[in-house]
Structure 1
């Protein structure tokens, strides 16, 4: 599954508004690098239930400004020619046990992304390695991220979402033509998307076994700010542990893959149905008074 996320922030001042107190996000480092774990206390008897979405206090502190076109684009000619490619941003928690891997693709329009790296560092992160490769879909900028305070991969869903929104806002700043290609263009861009996607039609959920000890959850739905945090919260609210995953922002859609388990084992068929129903219930109602945006 592809995970898409692309963008870059131009100034230090605009980035500091994302998190005024990064310490609130940080936990003490564990004895080993755990991949994207979100465990809740487990009841002796599972009682499937649906809990209303609650706004994350960390996400409400995000202050992402409207993107404005810069005078120049990082390492690129500002002239736009041909069809605007679909922006893709991928946050990968599976491929590297020690770091969060981020991949950004926007045809051949992306430059060196130096301001994106600077914006991520302002979130208390280190970009430890990176590479660029080309294929038929364009130029792929791929780099690994760790928390500066621990040297470990990012585990907190709120901080992963902050990474995603930072990259997207940077993309909108340096490539304003991407605004109409992204669902986030309605929230942060200079132009809203040209089309509106029906959430009922766009939402697809699938759960399947991935061995005896875990299951694989696929979710595809219309993108929006705070979506990654909401997905993890909905899953953990029914006492299912999220171990690792991938979160792709691809144009107007978000496509995610999570490794999940219940009490150290793969999720049973009845619980798979409960999980799918819970996710579908909330994802088809993204505009409630408790929504993340």
Structure 2
């Protein structure tokens, strides 16, 4: 089997409107803000339209490699396109952010993805690949290049997520229709939109005396991780760590949260659940705001 390779250029689109289209503003308020993800605020980080990644005026163009398998001169047609998954894990390693990517047995070495992450000011300090019944899993550990520590800023975590998904769409165009972000910057958007009311599930449970476990499942879109953390911290609930999974058209987030060093009491659980439900089920931007 021969492999043909061609280079592609693309940009990252960060925020979204109510239809899932990418906007030029990283948060629904239209402002570029720093946010807390367990350890404090960081320098504001903005993703702009048309491939410009802006932080203090820096412009970066990311590139991915598109790979098409050909057999005897014809494109290889597969029966079933697997569901792409991108997991950002803040729990399993105290010193690094762990990212795992699966897409059946179609993923290659992801060297372009690693290079794109380096362009975000990150180091890939460890990488490994393993196989199981669900296919090939690519897992690697990421730290900030300037500090050598794990990523704590939710905007940068979201930039990591969108960079990986962008590369996945470019590297495997057939994944576009399988991902919610395919509607924003993919080659082929999903055939159906997810009903947010049906897809959204929120639960809060105790996870020991000093913290609670918040679980959120909803329709995915660009900027969702940043917005979830903002809603949680706006009601003075701290986010210690968590995991954010992109699974096809859905996003699944698990956050370890607390209030003044304690687990959330029942009334506060209800407040955070109601706030998130209201936010996720209403339009996040207005046409007049941009």
Match of 1:269 in 2: 266
Unpaired runs of at least 5, structure 2:
1-6, 15-31, 53-61
Change (3 A) 1:90 1:204: same
* Cα displacement string for residues 215-244 of structure 1 (whole angstroms, at most 9, x for unaligned residues): 000000000000000000000000000000
Match of 2:131 in 1: 134
Change (3 A) 1:191 1:15: closer
Match of 1:235 in 2: 232
- Choose between structure 1 and 2: higher strand proportion: 2
Determine which of 36, 48, 53 is the counterpart of 1:61: 48
Determine which of 252, 255, 258 is the counterpart of 2:252: 255
> Deviation at 1:80?
3.8
Say yes or no: does 1:191 pair with 2:188: yes
Aligned residues: 254
Retained in 2: the 8 A contact 1:103–1:142? yes
Partner Cα separation in structure 2 for residue 148 and residue 115 of structure 1: 18
Retained in 2: the 8 A contact 1:68–1:173? no
Change (3 A) 1:127 1:71: closer
Unpaired runs of at least 5, structure 1:
1-9, 19-23, 28-34, 41-55
Partner Cα separation in structure 2 for residue 234 and residue 202 of structure 1: 19
Retained in 1: the 8 A contact 2:64–2:167? no
TM-score (norm: length of structure 1): 0.78
Retained in 2: the 8 A contact 1:125–1:146? yes
Match of 2:207 in 1: 210
Secondary structure of the corresponding residue to residue 187 of structure 2: coil
Secondary structure of the corresponding residue to residue 233 of structure 1: helix
* Cα displacement string for residues 112-170 of structure 1 (whole angstroms, at most 9, x for unaligned residues): 00000000000000000011011111100000000000000000000000000000000
Match of 1:97 in 2: 94
Counterparts in 2 of 1:45-124, with a 5 A limit?
58-61=45-48, 63-64=50-51, 72-73=67-68, 79-124=76-121
> Deviation at 1:246?
0.1
C-alpha RMSD of matched pairs (Å): 3.3
Retained in 2: the 8 A contact 1:108–1:138? yes
Partner Cα separation in structure 2 for residue 36 and residue 134 of structure 1: 32
Counterparts in 2 of 1:153-172, with a 5 A limit?
153-172=150-169
Retained in 2: the 8 A contact 1:38–1:243? yes
Change (3 A) 1:123 1:284: same
Retained in 2: the 8 A contact 1:64–1:188? no
> Deviation at 1:71?
5.4
Secondary structure of the corresponding residue to residue 72 of structure 1: strand
